[in-house]
Amino acid sequence: MTVPTSPGPAPQDASSTALGAQLLRRKPISQMIAQANADHEGPRLVRSFGVLQLTMISVGATLGTGILVILGESVPLAGPAIWISFAIAGLAALLSAVSYAEMAGLVPVSGSSYSYTYATMGEGMAWICGWCLVLEYAVSVAAVAVGAGQYVNEALGIFGQVLPDALSQPPGSGGMVNIPAMVIVLLATVLLVKGAKESAWINTSIVVIKVGILLFFCAVAFTAFNAGNFEPLLPMGAAGVSAAASRVFFSYIGFDAASTAGEEAKNPTRDMPRAILLSMLIVTTIYVLVAVAAIGARPWGWFDGTEAALVKILEETTGQPWIGFVFAVGAVLAIASIVLTVLYGQTRILLSMSRDGLIPKIFSRVSRRTGTPVAGTILVGSVVALTAGLVPLGALADATSIGTLFAFALVNIAVIYLRRARPELERTFRVPLFPLTPILGAVMCGYLMLNLGADTWVVFGLWMAVGIAFYFGYGRRHSKVAALSTAEYLELSVSSPTKAGTP
């Protein structure tokens, strides 16, 4: 049982609410959990995920992105120390992951860091966080899908066939449209429309294949290991290592995707923290291992401009093209699992924002037949498919990283706030070494953001300007929390949160 605490600024009617008061208005945790259980219009999401499915969602959304897709673009930044870049990014992600684990057990609903921010910092910061998540998820799906064309051509190459650049590269990279990227996104969209449970089991199967092919790569690459490839370790200096860490950070957004499954987990308060931490351990270990194996097999300069680098290492090391073919097919499946799980997370965040009235209702309409947000999924999938087909990879990766880092920093701050403001709330997981851990997590996120290029910051600034305009043009006027009367808001704010999953 919780005790009442100060709810923050009490709202009046939406029309009479001052801007400052509305921006600071927090959404009561009890209201979030009530909505997750059944207290909202229309059918609700189906609770079908256990800790295995949640872990596989997190691993599926994470494992492979930085290695399979952008390794060739990241090694020239850091040199042989690329494995250190992965370790730094993994540490920053782990510091944020433990904060996510605490918040996921405390606020076990769809929406991820958007919902956590709404409960702690108010509607204004929640909107900014949600808008960053839209950038993070949609663009990361597109960024990963872009890499599919490389591996499709590697698989076709064994038969002496390749897709022309016009059909496998976006404008700006020598082509017209990336057809493989668009096809993978559209197939993932169709699967998500059919049902979350079915999608989760398919993802679990693909993740097993993905882990297998990466471990197989390591076994082969270590047979050609040359310690001299690590000298000099820092040819681009510490700045290069930091720059590469900032670029590959988007490879670690998988645990964020798992936290969007709060309303579809059977026991979210117990299983979500476990899944988040377990997936981080698995992913970081494999990333560092593969990076070390790759650099050991080939000098770092070899990676510059090399597409599908892991396939080429396998082919050159073994002299057997069929091994490269098998790996390329596995890589396409791995990319498909990333697209599937991250696209899943995107639709659930938009569902939460729509349920709060901040974006149109179409994103929160759940089908009675499938138990999924069909209309929102189709709309998001179509937009992301076009982005994947028409935007180059490098710009996508950096734009994803800055949105991810900003959202992670807010979650670390949210943990600090709730520990101070609501110490009585039941927590199934507590961040160790509080408050040092969330403070370091927020600082590392800020540091990695500063290492991103000026162009990325310009894109981020323009994206935020569009988001602010959308909030004032639509979100502020349709906010359901703003529409609550003072009495309704106070009643929700002092009520005790009920256990998620309990009607």
* Successive 10-residue mean pLDDT values, the chain, 503 residues: 42 56 84 66 70 86 72 86 90 87 82 86 91 80 73 76 80 79 89 78 86 91 93 90 83 75 79 87 90 93 82 88 83 82 86 91 86 89 86 64 83 91 85 93 88 83 92 92 72 57 45
Q: Specify if 2 maps to a domain.
A: no
Percent of the chain with pLDDT over 90: 20
| pLDDT confidence of residue 494 | 59
Which amino acid belongs to residue 494? V
Our CA angle for 264, 366, 112, nearest 5°, is 45
Q: Specify if 471 maps to a domain.
A: yes
The number of domains in the chain is: 1
Query: With the CA atoms of 256, 258, 263 and 269 taken in that order, what torsion angle do they form, in degrees rounded to the nearest 10?
Result: -90
Q: Specify if 4 maps to a domain.
A: no
Q: Specify if 501 maps to a domain.
A: no
Domain encompassing residue 29: 14-494
Q: Specify if 202 maps to a domain.
A: yes
8-state DSSP, 49:
B
Q: What's the pTM value of the predicted model, to 2 decimals? A: 0.78
Find the CATH number of the domain harbouring 99: 1.20.1740.10
Our CA angle for 343, 344, 346, nearest 5°, is 65
Q: What is the pLDDT of residues 266-315, one digit of tens each?
A: 888 888 888 888 988 898 899 899 999 999 999 998 988 777 788 889 88
C-alpha distances in Å from residue 154, one per residue of 35, 279, 487: 47, 29, 63
Q: Specify if 7 maps to a domain.
A: no
Q: Specify if 1 maps to a domain.
A: no
Spatial CA neighbour of 340 closest among 194, 214, 213: 194
Element (H, E) at 179: helix 179-194
Q: Specify if 6 maps to a domain.
A: no
